[in-house]
Each structure stands twice: as structure tokens, then as C-alpha cells.
Amino acid sequence: MGGDLPLILPSKLGGYWIDPPLERLVDVSPTGSYYGLNPDSYDIMERDKEAKIYQEFFSSRYHLSFTAVDPSLGPLVLSVRLEDEENKLRVILRMKECSLTLISSKFSQISLSLIPQAPELITAFDEHRVSPNFKFGILCQKDGQFTEEDILSNNEESDEFKEFLSILGETVHLQGFTGFRGGLDVCYGQTGSEAVVTSFHGREIMFHVATKLPFTDGDPQQLQRKRHIGNDIVALVYQEGQTPFLSDVIKSHFLHCFLVVRRTQRVEDSGEPSYQVSVTAREDVPPFGPVLPDPPIFTEVRQFLLTKLINAEISCYKAQQFSRLELRTRSSLLESLQAELSTRSQCMMGDRSLSALPSSEGLRGASEGSGGFIENFKRAIRVRSHSFETLGVPRKVGSSAAQKPKCGLFHDLSHQLRLLFSLVLSDKSPGPMPALSDSLGPAEVKDQASPQEDT
């Protein structure tokens, strides 16, 4: 299997798991069982399984969206759609921490003002974590190299290393490159002249190959190379020789996982090269597939490596450092979404108080101009009524019941929304129920309906 030395050695300070595990050097790897993952599966993980629900089931169909601000939960955005069959409601409740989904029994029908732009805004929020693009670092470790400085200082690419790069993707000229560039300069050559790229199951991948990034004489740290590879989350290390890779040798706040590959030969093969693979990641990175076979040796390695790299990055986002960052980002985006939808709804309803507030170009006409759809409608009715009175034409008077103001409309709507919020939270939330009924008064419920005809 390519020599007696393992591909990876654990850090003296700990904090990393290794797969396959080194029984005599470290504890059993948490990936050993893979929590029941199918060892024959090469499926790519989904970073956010609920990101596409709104686009698939809501955006092109008639539905309603509502916003509210709860004292304990913060901004909330609720989307509701009546299913075509069985009188069911499909519900998405977006909160700072997560989005909850539910299919529930039908409530009475409700309708308020329409915001045509709402589906695009909500879709953008739901899918803000989903990206078809990935970037990974590639390091070449030669025999006898143990330090970060040695590994980053390699300039020459052997035929063996070039052959391996050709398995991963295509070498392209960066000048004028129009695909996903992964932060590399495609105009002035400041990040080198070439890079390795590939497409895999609808995803664009850019490899930051250390030997192709600019080399700086007199800089042992090679900061120009470290600037790109150190900002990647996952890196691949190709070993030429038998020197093991140390889990923490590359110092970076972002790098959380390394895939280490070494070329080897199996006796039963007819001279064809095969590759041995090992994985190491920080201890708070959950396990991810595909599962390494036993022994972890491949003759066809491309599909395994690309799938493993993508799943590694998706799994790394669940580590503490990235999960905290994602929570802050989600909270900020949700606050912006709730505020934007609420402002647009009030503009649509003709809230003149918004004219004194700063507004975007898209909202300025609504807030400073005609006063919104409702105000225009009222103005047209008043003009029509005045015209009839001037001409002496009697107006039709309906029944007394028809003239009664529907004072219970907003109360009924508020009650229904409280039921929806409570139903979703009580069905999905493991904690105690928040007192939403105290915070969702009629004046605080803003309809951001975005209905469109079924297509």
C-alpha cells in the first residue's frame, strides 16, 4: 500500500480526526461507521435541503407571505399556500436560526395586498447558501517535506503530478477565462497564468494549485500562495514519496479538511497506477461520504475525489466557526427581508408616513408619488362619487348588512396567523412554545402576498 508510513499523522495538539484511523496512534475515527451511510453511494450532499422548497412549491403558484416581528424570536417571514389536493396548507416559517416547514389542514381563505416582487426576494433569501461553484486548494508534498514553508515553496511539476492534475480537470489559461474564477485574476495575470478547472454534476470547480500560483523570492511563507489556499475550506495534498502529512501543518483559520492522495501500485494490476486516499478534518467537522473502501485504494479516482471534496466543504460548514458565521449572516438577511417586504407592503397600502423615510430607487415612486394602489383606488372612487353628485344621479344604496364595516377582518386574520405560527412551531420546535399571540396583533401583521397564476 505504498510503503510502511501512513499518509497522515495526527497533530501533537490533537483536534483532528483521520480516516482511515491509525489504531495505534489515535482514537477510532468518528467516520468509521459513517452513521449508516451506504458504502457504495457517491451521492453529493445537499447544503440546505429546504432551500429549494419555496421555488419549487410556492414561487410560481398562488400563495401568501406574511411578516412579523416577535419580541423573543425576532423577524419572521411566513409563506402559506393552499395545496391543490386534500385542502391542505403548505407552510414555511423563516426564523433567525432556521426555517420550519409544515403541511397542515386548511384554514379559512384570506387575502390582502399583493407584492409582485416578493417571490424573487424570498427565493433569494431561501437560496442564499446554495451555490453551484466550489474552490479547493491543491498542494504538492515532496519526499522529506514536513513544514508549511517547504510545501508552499514547490515550483516544479513532475510528470506524475501533471498526470494527477489531468485526472481532476483541465488546465486553462486565466487570461480571458469566463468561467468561475474562484478569486483568481483573469485580466492582468496577478495570480498566475494557468489554473485547473472542471465541471462536475452541474457544479463549477476551480482548483488553486500552489505550483501555478505566483512564487515570491525571499518570502519563505509564500503569502501570495497562502492568500488563496489559506482561504479555502478544503485542500487536496498530493504526495510524491512516503513522507506523511501532518494534520495541522498548514496554519489557517479557514482550512478545515485535507484529502491526501499518494500514487501506488497493486501487484494484481498490469502496471496501471492506482491511488491511495486518506482524509483528515477538524474534530467538529461531521463525517461525510463517500465512504473510503478497505483498503482505500482506487484505480478510478476522479469521481470519488470530486464527490468527497464537495461533501467535505458542505460538511465543514457545520463546524462551529462556520455555523456561527452563517447564523449571523442569516439573521442579518432575514431582518433585511422582513423590513423590505414590510416597507413594500405599506407603500402598496399607501402609508404616507413612509414618504419621510429614506427609500430605495425602486420604492421612491411608491412612497413619494401617488400614495400607493389603495390611495389611488380611494381617490378614483371619491372622484366618481363627486361626479355622480354633481350630475344629480342617485347612488345605489345596498342593504344595511352590506354597508357595515368589516371590523373583524384583521382580527380574524391575526387569529389565523397566530394559529399558523403556533402550529408550525409546536410541531417542529423541540423547545417550549413562544407566546406569539401576544406579539402578533392586527396592526403588526403585514401581508406580503406574492400570488401568481399557476404555470
Which candidate, 210, 313, 213, 184, places its Cα nearest to that of 259?
313
User: Can you give the CATH number for the domain in which 333 is found?
Assistant: 3.30.1120.160
Let me know whether 196 and 283 are in one domain: yes
Q: Write down the pTM of the prediction.
A: 0.69
Tell me, yes or no, whether 109 lies in a domain: yes
Tell me, yes or no, whether 451 lies in a domain: yes
Tell me, yes or no, whether 161 lies in a domain: yes
List CB contacts of 281: < 8 A, sequence separation 6 or more: 16, 17, 256, 257, 258, 312, 315, 316
Tell me, yes or no, whether 86 lies in a domain: yes
Let me know whether 141 and 268 are in one domain: yes
Which candidate, 263, 259, 311, 255, places its Cα nearest to that of 287?
311
Strands ordered across the beta sheet of 99-105: 99-105, 88-94, 74-82, 64-70, 446-447
Let me know whether 169 and 58 are in one domain: no
- Domain housing 73: 49-129+323-352+370-380+416-428+439-455
Tell me, yes or no, whether 58 lies in a domain: yes
Let me know whether 104 and 157 are in one domain: no
Let me know whether 197 and 335 are in one domain: no
Let me know whether 163 and 274 are in one domain: yes
Tell me, yes or no, whether 296 lies in a domain: yes
Let me know whether 161 and 245 are in one domain: yes
Peptide bond into 295 cis (omega under 30): yes
CA 77-80-83 angle, to 5 degrees, is 160
pLDDT tens for the 455 residues of the chain, in order: 445 689 999 988 899 999 998 764 444 445 444 444 556 667 887 766 677 777 777 777 778 788 888 888 888 888 888 776 666 788 888 888 888 887 766 555 544 444 556 778 888 888 878 889 999 999 999 999 999 999 999 999 999 999 999 999 999 999 999 999 999 999 999 999 999 999 999 999 999 999 999 999 999 999 999 999 999 999 999 999 999 999 999 999 999 999 999 998 754 555 678 999 999 999 999 999 999 999 999 999 999 999 999 999 999 999 999 989 988 998 899 898 888 888 877 776 666 555 444 444 443 443 344 455 555 555 555 655 555 555 555 554 444 444 443 334 334 445 555 555 555 555 444 444 333 333 333 333 333 344 344 43
DSSP 326-365: HHHHHHHHHHHHHHHHHHHHHHHHT-GGGGGS---HHHHH
Q: How confident is the model at residue 291, as a pLDDT?
A: 94
Let me know whether 22 and 139 are in one domain: yes
Let me know whether 125 and 137 are in one domain: no
Let me know whether 21 and 165 are in one domain: yes
Strands 245-246 and 257-264: unpaired
CA 52-58-63 angle, to 5 degrees, is 155
Tell me, yes or no, whether 54 lies in a domain: yes
Give the Å distances, CA to CA, from 195 to 41, 214, 238.
Answer: 30, 12, 16
Let me know whether 73 and 91 are in one domain: yes
Let me know whether 246 and 149 are in one domain: yes
* Number of structural domains the chain divides into: 2
User: Can you give the CATH number for the domain in which 269 is found?
Assistant: 3.40.50.11210
Tell me, yes or no, whether 390 lies in a domain: no
Q: How confident is the model at residue 211, as a pLDDT?
A: 98
Please check whether residue 77 is in contact with residue 67, taking contact to mean a CB–CB distance below 8 angstroms: yes
List CB contacts of 230: < 8 A, sequence separation 6 or more: 250, 251, 252, 254, 255
